[in-house]
Amino acid sequence: MANHKSALKRIRQNDKRRLRNRFHTVRMRTFIKKFRTAVEEGDVETARGHLATSIKLVNRTRSRGGIHRNTADRTVGRLNKAFNKLATAQS
């Protein structure tokens, strides 16, 4: 355990940030799973709605430091690719 006042404060700050990042990351992952489920079922309209929400949450998590910039870009690219594949298969 830390002995200095500044080290104790740093521990408190890190705990707050970790919980905040975890909240955003878990929420993002939940909507990505909903999107992937809709894609597997072949439901284009539901997938379209979940895609928009998922991309918004990925970018929000990225901007708040929950995930790295490249990870966010890669995730968005994969989501768009999966949706486009589904949309072209339906038409």
Q: What is the pTM of this model?
A: 0.85
Q: How far is CA 42 from CA 51, 85, 87, in A?
A: 13, 10, 9
**10-65, pLDDT tens digit by residue?**
999 999 999 999 999 999 999 999 999 999 999 999 999 999 999 999 999 999 99
Residue 2's pLDDT is 84
Residue 66, in any domain of the structure: yes
- Residue 25's domain is classified under what CATH number? 1.20.58.110
Number of domains in the chain: 1
- Domain residues for 45? 18-90
Residue 89's pLDDT is 86
Residue 67's pLDDT band (cuts 50, 70, 90): very high
